[in-house]
Amino acid sequence: MERAVSSASPLIGVVMGSSSDWETMKHAADILSEFGVPFEAQVVSAHRMPDDMFAYAEQAQARGLRAIIAGAGGAAHLPGMLASKTLVPVLGVPVASRHLQGVDSLHSIVQMPKGIPVATFAIGTAGAGNAALFAVAMLAQDDAALRERLAAYRQRQTEHARGMSKDLI
């Protein structure tokens, strides 16, 4: 399978149902790049390339992936189907769909029946960014340097928010 973006030994897989999801999912990739987390990004469509999707899920653990961030829109079955075929944690990102603005994607991903969990994030770019930050936090549990970078990121965010008051009047 061709990988659009690929580190030598990726720890995180960023996958999506279509190249049209990349506008959203690149926000996950940007965060992972910012933190220096090796990742790969590729299209693995659940309904257009189901055999590839199963192969991706089945090989994820052996390939060293620690989490899969999966984005999809509409009848967004990709995250749940991946999760059903791997023990690697799947973080689902609902992509905003053309007609229902991603509420359909959100419901498809979040409403997993008990037994196969998918950690589900907000619709769109906030969800993609937060899924990546969540993956960073998971990896940071046993990586002190990464934990420091995450703390610094939070601190910069706090300083930025404190600075907002000066723009009010």
Residues in contact with ligand RP5, shown as a per-residue x/- string from 65 to 94 under the rule CB under 6 A: -------xxx--------------------
DSSP characters for the chain?
---SEE-SS-SEEEEESSGGGHHHHHHHHHHHHHTT--EEEEE--TTTSHHHHHHHHHHHTTTT-SEEEEEEESS--HHHHHHHT-SS-EEEEEEPPTTTTTHHHHHHHH-PPTTS--EE--SSHHHHHHHHHHHHHHHHTT-HHHHHHHHHHHHHHHHHHHHGGGG--
Residue 48 or 154 with smaller CB distance to ligand RP5 = 48
| Min separation Cβ 89 and ligand RP5, Å | 20
Instruction: Tell which one of 10, 11, 21, 106 touches ligand RP5 (CB under 6 A).
Output: 21
Which residue type occupies 126? A
Residue 72 or 136 with smaller CB distance to ligand RP5 = 72
| Min separation Cβ 106 and ligand RP5, Å | 12
- 13-21, 62-70, 107-115, 157-165 -> range binding ligand RP5 (CB under 6 A): 13-21
| Min separation Cβ 66 and ligand RP5, Å | 23
Residues that bind ligand RP5 (CB under 6 A): 16-18, 20-21, 45, 72-74, 95
